[in-house]
Amino acid sequence: MSSDLILRVRYVCGRYGRGIIAVLVVISAVAFAGVAAGVTAPPDTRQETVQGDQQTVTTTLTTQATVTGETPLYASDSTLTDMPVYLPSATPNLTFIATTDVPSVETAVTQQVVLELTATRNGAVFWRNQTTLAAETQQVTEGEARTSVTLDVWRLARERLAEIDAATGDVGQVQARVHVDATYDTGSHTGRTNASTPLTITDRAYELDTPQTDQQRHATAVTQTVPVSGATVVVPGTGLSVPGNTVGYAGIGVVAIVGAISVLLTRRQIGDFEAFQHHYEGVRYAEWISRGKIPDTGSYVRVPIETLLDLVDIAIDSEKRVIHDNSREVYAVVDDNIMYEFRDEDTGSGRMYEFGLAPIDTTTQTLEQEISEAEAAVQNGEDSGAPQW
């Protein structure tokens, strides 16, 4: 902040400080009243719909087989899990396992493992047969429902599939598929899941694609009352939530109080305002004032001016300089044979009306009247030929 601006601020505080302090105190009182009202008032809220009671149910179909035949590929009695290819010579029996994971609530789960045989031609099914290999209903509180069944795949190929293939001949293509159907009831949600894998059987192997998974998600729409975004803030270190506008009110109140205290301290630092005003005027009008000696006598019509500001205005209008006689504390502007004077007297009233809003005293003539009389006197002096000053 520049020194000139600081000086102006100090001058305003010194001259108008009482009024400024009163206004700031009123503002702070109103602001803190708003804070009190905001803290005691309930915060603004809105209704929001959220997804509650979320539950997920997952059903998975896997396969495994125990090595019972002679083979150099696997150790005897070892278990193979989710292999893409099983050898009938090593693992003629294949176990299909259906598991359904449920949420941590009591859930009724029914699972069925079904073998489906179809005959198709050009992609269209003209014959279908479904055989339930296993069906089971379980009450599960937490964890999973598990259903398994073992199928002699090699026997299925030699007997059932061979019979169907002979019956259809070259008309169509016989296909096999194993799928698990699961139904569940969690108490709040019900649904169905399904997972399946094709079963392709050749002379030397049978192929599958496991694991296969199906998942269902459920949620219940719940309406909640939540604070409006930005309507509340948390006071640091307290955990207390208050309406957001109270923070603004509090800030205004604090700023107003600090401002009032600053103005009060500035007024106390100034002390003698008359002396400070003298310094302020000298600095403010320094660019228009030159130091010099003003004669006590001479052929001048002397016109008294109420304030230094008025005298500076005259100097500006007449494109002249203000002369300051420091020995007598007199300021003057000389324009031809007219001398406009301002006397800096501590007891005078001119310094108390810097902006020229009040006369020096009730008997003083106006500036226009004095100038008119001075001009008339000059004219009379010229007519008589004898100077009177």
pLDDT at 241 over 70: no
Q: What's the half-sphere exposure (Cβ side, CA atoms, 13 Å) at 330?
A: 17
Rounded distance between C-alpha atoms, residue 88 and residue 67, angstroms? 10
Contact 67, 91 (CB under 8 A): yes
pLDDT of the residue at 373: 60
pLDDT of the residue at 259: 85
pLDDT at 388 over 60: no
Mean pLDDT for 335-344 is 87
Of 79, 59, 61, which is closest to residue 178 (Cα–Cα)?
61
DSSP 19-81: HHHHHHHHHHHHHHHHHHHHHHSPPPEEEEEEEEEEEEEEEEEEEEEE--S--SSS-TT-EEE
pLDDT of the residue at 234: 56
Rounded distance between C-alpha atoms, residue 174 and residue 162, angstroms? 9
β-strands 338-343, 301-304 pairing: parallel
Mean pLDDT for 359-371 is 47
pLDDT at 254 over 70: yes
pLDDT at 359 over 50: no
pLDDT at 64 over 50: yes
pLDDT of the residue at 351: 38
pLDDT of the residue at 28: 86
Tokens encoding 236: 């640091």
pTM (global) more than 0.85: no
Task: State whether residue 367 is helix, strand or coil.
Answer: helix
Mean pLDDT for 308-323 is 88
**What is the per-residue pLDDT across 215-239, written as a single tens digit (0 to 9) for each?**
999 888 877 777 665 555 555 555 5
pLDDT of the residue at 213: 96
Give phi and psi for 5, each to the nearest 5. -65, -40
Find the range with the poorest average confidence among 40-54, 130-144, 314-328. 40-54
Find the range with the poorest average confidence among 215-229, 254-268, 313-327. 215-229
User: Mean pLDDT across the chain, nearest whole number?
Assistant: 80
Rounded distance between C-alpha atoms, residue 315 and residue 337, angstroms? 15
Find the range with the poorest average confidence among 47-51, 206-210, 253-257. 47-51
- Where residue 54 falls among pLDDT bands split at 50, 70, 90? confident
Q: 151 versus 284: which is more confidently predicted?
A: 151
Of 349, 352, 298, 307, which is closest to residue 331 (Cα–Cα)?
307
Q: How far is CA 235 from CA 202, 232, 239, in A?
A: 74, 10, 6
Mean pLDDT for 312-334 is 88
Of 187, 216, 219, 188, which is closest to residue 51 (Cα–Cα)?
219
- Where residue 5 falls among pLDDT bands split at 50, 70, 90? confident
Q: 241 versus 98: which is more confidently predicted?
A: 98
Question: In what helix (H) or strand (E) does residue 16 lie, and over which residues does it extend?
Answer: helix 3-40
Of 25, 95, 48, which is closest to residue 67 (Cα–Cα)?
95
DSSP 146-179: EEEEEEEHHHHIIIIIHHHHHHHTTS-EEEEEEE
pLDDT of the residue at 101: 93
Q: 322 versus 15: which is more confidently predicted?
A: 322
Q: 16 versus 367: which is more confidently predicted?
A: 16
Rounded distance between C-alpha atoms, residue 190 and residue 184, angstroms? 6
For the chain, the domains span 3-43+241-271, 53-224, 276-384
Return the ∠ at Cα 289 (arms to 282 and 301), rounded to 5°: 115
**What is the per-residue pLDDT across 79-95, written as a single tens digit (0 to 9) for each?**
999 999 999 889 999 99
